[in-house]
């Protein structure tokens, strides 16, 4: 049986124009691998929205990265001040991976 | 004539109304976002090309320089006026007032394009260089709006910390906003290829323009009405300003054009530019530069209030003003 | 003439066949969904506009009222007939029989549009008001199908509980289905702008129509063939009904048109409407109104069996019938 | 280090036309914030499918919401009768969030 | 309260042209139900990428399946040799489901 | 004349440059992927149709058979030459050298299409059957490249294990690649419908072609420049080969065409086909057949180096060569 290792998955829901900033913040704490997943719409305290590529202002993506416990914590610390001001949603969960050294 | 409500019966406007009615009635009609974005790229390329080709024919003139100067002046001053109104009458905090002001100082490509269609159909086409004026007017208001939003620097939150951004990178990102690059680039291509080069691509960029615009305005009607329904932070005072500001700005635009000696068509077009509020270049830039400002607010005002007002009542109004103020 | 198999060699049909062959051969050719949706919106706007413009020219006539009445009658009665066949010969349970019946009582815009192209090329164009008949025929069958599916109310599951839906909200959702709104709205716009207003947008909505239809039918060929390959719940009996029902319905449509005194072109078009099965408005409405019915089944029948049959063999057949039954 | 709190993530794979109904059911148990994630296709007992925006009938989205244990349970209870009849897929997992009061 | 059961969620980030191969490998170990989720772009050791449907070579999707512990392990074993050569990313996590017999 | 740098000033090329400049300047301009894919489908359908219609008019000729033979010869031999260069000068391992070689032996539809536009505008249009030659040249190089990559079978890793693939399924997948099917299928449709059938869809597939090509090349410029910026495995030696190989292959193509007795226009077109490197059919096939090869490498070379070189400098060069080598 293949051995798996525990890692942390961090998912950040962020407005498309702000993705480069999140990527830069992540790189600042050593997190350089990520995948972007699209969204179609949603609702929250700020009301309902649906994907709007024309203005670009209402288009959100999920910045997803799998990394070590330490780096995940560092990324969370670095992003916490922005959660409110930039309207981010941040989720952390535990996943198992093969080839642990990759993450 | 074209200033009459009959302009409301053009297919372009009717498709906008159809979209708005469908969204208000909660129909599930939607245009896929990728397609809407594709059409908006097409419209910007087409308008840029047409403007460039016309300038290639007419050559650079004093008129053109004066129009450019008038446009720049408006895009620097209008946000200041808007800011004052939004703070006082609108009761907005400084951050959001600056953000909204940037939108009203900048311009809406689709409002302009629709206005040009109405003007051309009505026999008073604006000069081709007005497209260059449009491109020039997209950006300065962003800078002014940001300065206003950030105030005397005591507003530490705005732009500071990990979310901060140097003025250099801001300028870079604004100047290189996709829509600005496409519009300006197509204008230059139009200049280079001139009439003969344009002939081979005219079936797509000229003959097809009005029909494609119909489909885009159908989507704009849907988007504007849905946004109005979903708007949470839009107060009555702000909605009123969303109608008052285009009227004031449009009148100032036409007035300045009259002083500058532009033709009636070009004066109406400058009025439309002044009256219109950006909903493509500015929101994208501000989401980066002022992430703390509320996009729900500035898009509701520019897209859900001002844009529909301009498309339906504003355009004929600015044309009337131009006919009245500018000696033909 | 046009009723001959030569109609199969029109580019529109050939692109449909190309798509079907590619999908059967398991090619990875695909049209992005957003683009396919965009094209279908374009086709509905174009067909609506053209119909409206033609009625603006011809005015409202008795013929038109009679055609509308014939269409409505068909869309109420055909689902009942289809339901009986699906229950008896098709061995379907009541729920799914009602759902499928709704599709066959309603109409397929693309079948109609392709048929109009074939008729027009062949020199027997239907009247412009047939588009209005098309719009009228989209919805009644949904109501009839639902009544049939729900039976005498003893079928407690259907429509009850958290999944249930009041008749009011159902009517609302059906009436405001995106494709119905776009088709009817464009028809009204066509009526308002008439021939002169249409001229400026005709390059997109008229000249380009047939070419764009080719691309759409390429996608329909891919989608229909893939759906046929993936269909699990399609029995041989149901597949046979998927061919028998359009033939029966088409004959009834042409026959009623002949009694009503429509022109041969319009009679053929009514036959096509009767024969066609919806795969846009009805599936979307039923997914809401009858979530327990199997979409794999109703889409396989309407999209993977009846649509290809109609496009290839059905259209010439209904035209032949019209030529034969209607005194020219 | 930033404090995180445990919450429940509920993911519901649902046909696009049924999303408003799921949103209404969720609102009924007090779950008003959600995000919609698109899908491209899949396979299951009902056979293979791929996104089909033209008919709309074969277009599925993932209705995702992060909420408290109680509300997640209430949402699951409310949706369970629909799972079979409406062809829904429902997954629940545990995630950590910052700013717990938001969820 | 509705009873839920623990299952394993396996997420595989894979280049679009390779999806049929993953589906075949999964079917080989008895995993026949899955859902495909799109992506927009990302970054890793191989550099940055963004969705490219025209060449098809830079278009990745997430092959997601929820299954039993055993089948998840079998799938992981079957895919491990391909992770490096085919540039796959494989994540395993735990989720709760209703109607356990379905998975 | 058309071989002069003036060809660079065609709108099609200028839009490519605009895209490249925007991407290098890190503008956020992007064309939605679904729209880009939709446009590329349109271009392939259009080019296939046009070729088929022209052959329907001219009939099958000896010239055509000779051109096909020349094309096939090139697509078998060019990958061998490329492989040798990539292994020796390029210092690539066998696997990746074989993968890259397959791209250079195959062809780029958009390079061809752009070249045909330049040739036609310049008054030396190639024969219609060159589209058939294009379709024939897409696949053989894939097989040759794979044989080279796998070597004498001692390269156990390549194609073995769970990732392996039988030659039969490989052939199937390659032959049924979406772009090949669409191109060949549209060619056959063009043959069947001929000039009269094409007339009704020409507004979309002919009149609109050049304008749509502008929008596609805008996207290609963006994509190529972004890929160049992101390329990690591209060494200077490989970049040099990305320019040298098209020049060598182009010269060989024009030379063989001259020997075969093709017209100057067709010779230039064969040179363009030989010089171009695939970035649609081959990458998709190789991702399946050689998953271990680095897509970042082969796409960087074909799309980010060779494609821009061909579009800007290559096309005029191959035309000059054809004018010089082929007696007019
Ligand atoms: N609890 C939640 N679960 C899922 N998505 C959420 C949640 N809260 C917020 N979101 C997403 O984040 C967006 C912004 O949230 P808000 O700032 O609350 O308006 C919403 O529109 C949702 O798309
Ligand atoms: N175990 C599973 N893992 C992932 N997706 C699933 C699973 N079961 C069902 N699905 C998704 O739900 C859809 C409907 O499932 P079914 O009702 O089994 O046909 C499938 O086509 C998949 O997209
Ligand atoms: N740790 C990670 N977290 C999220 N996505 C990743 C991670 N590592 C790799 N990826 C994704 O997998 C792709 C290929 O990874 P690589 O082989 O490292 O270039 C990247 O471009 C990302 O989209
Ligand atoms: Na303005
Ligand atoms: Na019918
Ligand atoms: Na080549």
- Rounded (10°) CA dihedral F89, F94, F100, F105: 90
Residues 6+ apart with CB under 8 A from F272: F111, F112, F115, F250, F253, F310, F314, F315, F318
- Joined together, the tokens standing for residue C192 give 């308002």
Read off the pLDDT of each residue in C36-46 and give the average, rounded to a whole number: 95
Which of A44, A50, A85 gets mutated to test ligand 1 (max ligand atoms within 8 A of its CB)?
A: A44
Sole residue written with tokens 């409110």: A84
Instruction: Decide if F275 contacts F244 (C-beta within 8 A).
Output: no
Is B236:B33 a contact under the CB 8 Å cutoff? Answer: no
Three-class SS of chain F: CCCCHHHHHCHHHHHHHHHHHHHHCCCCCCCCHHHHHHHHHHHHHHHHHHHHHHHHHHCCCHHHHHHHHHHHHHHHHHHHHHHHHHHHCCCCCHHHHHHHHHHHHCCCHHHHHHHHHHHHHCCCCCCCCHHHHHHHHCCHHHHHHHHHHHCCCCCCCCCCHHHCCCHHHHHHHHHCCHHHHHHHHHHHHHHHHHHHHHHCCHHHHHHCHHHHHHHHHHHHHHHHHHHHHHCCCCCHHHHHHHHHHHHHHHHHHHHHHHHHCCCHHHHHHHHHHHHCCCCCHHHHHHHHHCCCCCHHHHHHHHHHHHHHHHHHHHHHHHHHHHHHHCCC
> What φ, ψ does residue C122 adopt, rounded to 5°?
-85, 5
Give me chain C's average pLDDT, please: 90
In chain D the domains, ranked by start, together with CATH numbers, are 5-98 (3.30.70.120)
Residue C186 has pLDDT above 80, yes or no: yes
**Predicted local distance difference test score (pLDDT) of residue C2:** 45
Mean pLDDT of C75-92: 97
pLDDT tens, position by position, for chain F (328 residues)? Answer: 444 445 567 899 999 999 999 999 999 899 999 999 999 999 999 999 999 999 999 898 999 999 999 999 999 999 999 999 999 999 999 999 999 999 999 999 999 999 999 999 889 999 999 999 998 998 899 999 999 998 865 444 444 343 456 667 777 777 888 988 999 999 999 999 999 999 999 999 999 999 999 999 999 999 999 989 888 889 999 999 999 999 999 999 999 999 999 999 999 999 999 999 998 889 988 888 888 999 889 999 999 999 999 999 999 999 999 999 987 6
Query: Scanning the structure block, which residue is given the tokens 């008896």?
Result: C88
SS3 label, residue C92: coil
Q: Whose CA is nearest to atom 7 of ligand 2?
A: E33
Are F201 and C211 in contact by the 8 Å Cβ rule? The answer is yes
DSSP string, A64-84: EEEE-HHHHHHHHHHHHHHHH
Which residue among B230, B232, B287 sits closest to A17, beta carbon to beta carbon?
Answer: B287
Angle ∠(D5,D6,D7) on CA atoms, nearest 5: 120
Q: What angle do CA F143, F144, F148 make, to 5 degrees?
A: 120
* Residue A91 near residue E86 (C-beta atoms within 8 A): no
A96 near D CB under 8 A: no
pLDDT score for C166: 66
Q: Sort out which chain B residues have CB atoms less than 8 A from F33's CB and list them.
A: 34
For ligand 2, atom 15, which residue shows the shortest CA distance? Answer: D44
Ligand 2 atom showing the smallest separation from residue E31 Cα: 1
* Integer Cα distance of D90 and D70 in angstroms: 16
Scanning the structure block, which residue is given the tokens 């909200």? Answer: C169
Residue in chain B closest to F14 (alpha carbons) equals: B189
Residue D88, token pair as written in the block: 């829904």
Interface test with D, best of E20, E22, E36, E92 (most D CBs within 10 A): E36
The first and second tokens of residue E84, run together, are: 């490096």
**Residue entry with tokens 């893939």:** C226
Total number of domains in chain F: 1
Q: Is pLDDT of A78 > 70?
A: yes
* pLDDT reported for residue A56: 75
Whether the CA torsion F302, F306, F307, F308 is positive or negative: it is positive
State the pLDDT at residue C6.
55
Atom of ligand 3 nearest to the CA of A36: 23
What band does C261 get if pLDDT is binned at 50, 70 and 90?
A: very high
DSSP state of B204: I
Phi then psi dihedrals of residue D94, to 5 deg: -105, 135
Cα nearest neighbour of C282 on chain D = D55
CA–CA distances in Å: residue F128 to residues B237, B290, F56, F187, F212: 66, 56, 9, 10, 20
Q: What is the DSSP string of E18-57?
A: GHHHHHHHHHHTT---EEEEE--EEEETTEEEE-BTTTST
D97·A90 Cβ contact <8 A: yes
In short, whether D43's Cβ falls inside 6 Å of ligand 2 is yes
First CA to last CA distance, chain D = 20
- β-partners of residue E15 are E60
Q: What is the pLDDT of residue F165?
A: 60
DSSP 8-state symbol, B232: S
Residues pairing with F269 in the sheet: none
H/E stretch holding A6: strand A5-15
Q: Chain C residue closest to F35 (CA)?
A: C35
Q: Which helix or strand (DSSP H or E) is residue E12 part of?
A: strand E5-15
Residue with the two structure tokens 């992981």? E76
CATH of the domain at F203: 1.20.1530.20
Mean pLDDT of B187-193: 96
pLDDT of residue B162: 39
Contact B309, B244 (CB under 8 A): no
**Chain-centre distance of CA E8, in angstroms?**
12
Best residue among D89, D91, D93 to mutate for probing ligand 2's pocket (most ligand atoms within 8 Å of CB) is: D89
For C40-56, what is the mean pLDDT? 94
- Chains touching F (3+ CB pairs < 8 Å): B, C, E
Three-class secondary structure of residue A9 per DSSP: strand
Q: How many CA atoms lie within 13 A of B280 on its CB side?
A: 27
State which residue of chain F sits closest to E43, comparing Cα positions.
F230
Q: Percent of chain C, pLDDT > 70?
A: 92
Cβ-Cβ contacts under 8 Å, F288 against chain E: 17-18, 21
Task: Say whether residue A6 is in contact with chain E using an 8 A CB cutoff.
Answer: no
Considering only B208-222, B303-317, D58-72, F277-291, which range has the smallest mean pLDDT?
F277-291
* Predicted interface score ipTM higher than 0.85: yes
Whether C310 contacts C249, CB under 8 Å = no
Task: Please name the residues in contact with C59: beta carbons below 8 A apart, sequence gap of 6 or more.
Answer: none
- C-beta of A32 in contact with ligand 3 (< 6 A): no
In DSSP terms, D15 is beta-bridged to D60
Q: Which long-range contacts (CB under 8 A, 24 or more apart) does F160-167 make?
A: F161/E81, F161/E82, F162/E21, F162/E25, F162/E78, F162/E79, F162/E81, F162/E82, F163/E21, F163/E81, F163/E82, F163/E85, F163/E86, F163/F291, F163/F292, F165/F288, F165/F289
The per-residue pLDDT for range C149-170, each reduced to its tens digit, is: 988 654 444 443 334 566 677 7
> Region C256-274: what's the mean pLDDT?
96
Strand partners, D67: D8
What is the DSSP code (8-state) at residue E7?
E
Percent of chain B with pLDDT over 70: 92
- With vertex at residue F101, the alpha carbon angle to CA F98 and CA F103, rounded to the nearest 5 degrees, is 120
Cβ contacts of F273 within 8 Å, gap of 6 or more: F71, F74, F107, F112, F130, F133, F134, F137, F253
pLDDT tier, E2 (very low <50, low <70, confident <90, very high otherwise): confident
Distance CA(C304)–CA(C313), nearest Å, equals 14
Using a CB–CB cutoff of 8 Å, tell me whether B197 touches chain A.
no
Q: How confident is the model at residue B328 (pLDDT cuts 50, 70, 90)?
A: low
Residue B160 burial (10 A CB sphere; 0-12, 13-18, 19+) = middle
- For the cut 80, the answer to whether the pLDDT of residue C3 exceeds it is no
D50-82 as b/e, with b when 16 or more CB fall inside 10 Å?
bbbbbbbbbbbbbbbbbbbeebbbbbbebbbeb
Among the residues of chain B, which ranges form H helices? 11-24, 33-58, 62-88, 94-105, 109-121, 130-137, 140-150, 167-175, 178-199, 202, 209-230, 236-260, 264-275, 281-289, 295-299, 307-309, 315-325
Q: What percent of chain C has pLDDT over 90?
A: 76
Q: How far apart are CA B181 and CA F323, in angstroms?
A: 38
H-helix or E-strand spanning residue C323: helix C315-325
Q: Please state which of the ranges B91-100, B163-172, F90-99 shows the lowest mean pLDDT.
A: B163-172
CA E43 to ligand 2 centroid distance, Å: 29
Mutate to test the interface with E, among F287, F294, F302 (most CBs of E within 10 A): F287
- The rounded Cα C133 to chain-centroid distance in angstroms is 12
Task: Print the domain residue range for B270.
Answer: 4-325
Whether the predicted pLDDT of E15 surpasses 90:
yes
pLDDT at A22 over 70: yes
Distance between CA atoms of residues F314 and F243, nearest Å: 9
Q: In whole angstroms, give the CA distance from residue B3 to residue F37.
A: 42
pLDDT score, position D56: 75
Q: Which of E9, E1, E14 is closest to E59 using CA atoms? A: E14
Q: What is the DSSP letter of A51?
A: -
| pLDDT < 70 stretches in chain D | none
DSSP assigned state of B106: S
């Amino acid at each position: 049986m293949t051995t798996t290792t525990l890692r942390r998955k961090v998912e950040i829901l962020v407005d498309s124009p702000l993705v480069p900033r999140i990527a830069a913040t992540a790189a600042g704490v050593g997190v350089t691998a990520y995948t972007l997943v699209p969204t179609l719409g949603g609702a929250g305290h700020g009301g309902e929205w649906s994907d709007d590529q024309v203005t670009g202002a209402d288009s959100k993506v999920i910045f997803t990265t799998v990394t070590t416990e330490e780096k995940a914590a560092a990324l969370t610390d670095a992003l916490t001040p922005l959660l409110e001001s930039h309207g981010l949603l941040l989720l952390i969960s535990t996943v198992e991976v093969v080839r642990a050294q990759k993450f | 004539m074209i200033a009459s409500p009959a302009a409301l019966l053009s297919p372009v406007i009717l498709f906008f109304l159809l979209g708005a009615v469908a969204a208000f009635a909660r129909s599930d009609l939607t245009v896929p976002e990728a397609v809407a974005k594709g059409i908006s790229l097409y419209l910007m390329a087409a308008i840029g090309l047409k403007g460039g080709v016309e300038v290639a024919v007419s050559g650079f003139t004093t008129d053109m320089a004066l129009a450019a100067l008038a446009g720049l002046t408006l895009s620097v001053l209008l946000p200041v006026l808007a800011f004052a109104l939004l703070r006082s009458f609108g009761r907005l905090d400084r951050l959001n007032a600056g953000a909204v002001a940037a939108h009203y100082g900048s311009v809406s490509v689709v409002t302009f394009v629709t206005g040009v269609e109405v003007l051309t159909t009505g026999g008073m086409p604006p000069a081709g260089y007005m497209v260059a004026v449009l491109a020039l007017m997209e950006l300065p208001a962003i800078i002014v709006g940001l300065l206003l939003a950030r105030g005397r620097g005591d507003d530490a939150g705005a732009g500071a910390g990990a979310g901060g951004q140097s003025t250099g990178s801001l300028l870079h990102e604004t100047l290189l906003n996709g829509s600005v690059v496409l519009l300006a680039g197509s204008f230059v291509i139009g200049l280079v290829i001139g009439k003969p080069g344009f002939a081979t691509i005219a079936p797509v960029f000229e003959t097809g323009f009005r029909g494609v615009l119909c489909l885009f305005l159908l989507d704009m009607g849907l988007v504007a009405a849905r946004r109005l329904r979903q708007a949470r932070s839009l107060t009555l005072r702000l909605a009123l300003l969303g109608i008052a500001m285009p009227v004031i700005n449009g009148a100032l635009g036409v007035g300045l054009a009259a002083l500058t000696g532009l033709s009636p068509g070009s004066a109406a077009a400058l009025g439309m530019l002044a009256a219109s509020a950006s909903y493509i270049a500015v929101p994208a830039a501000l989401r980066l530069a002022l992430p703390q400002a509320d996009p729900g607010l500035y898009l509701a005002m520019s897209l859900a209030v001002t844009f529909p007002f301009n498309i339906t009542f504003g355009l004929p109004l600015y044309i009337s003003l131009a006919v009245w103020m500018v000696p033909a």
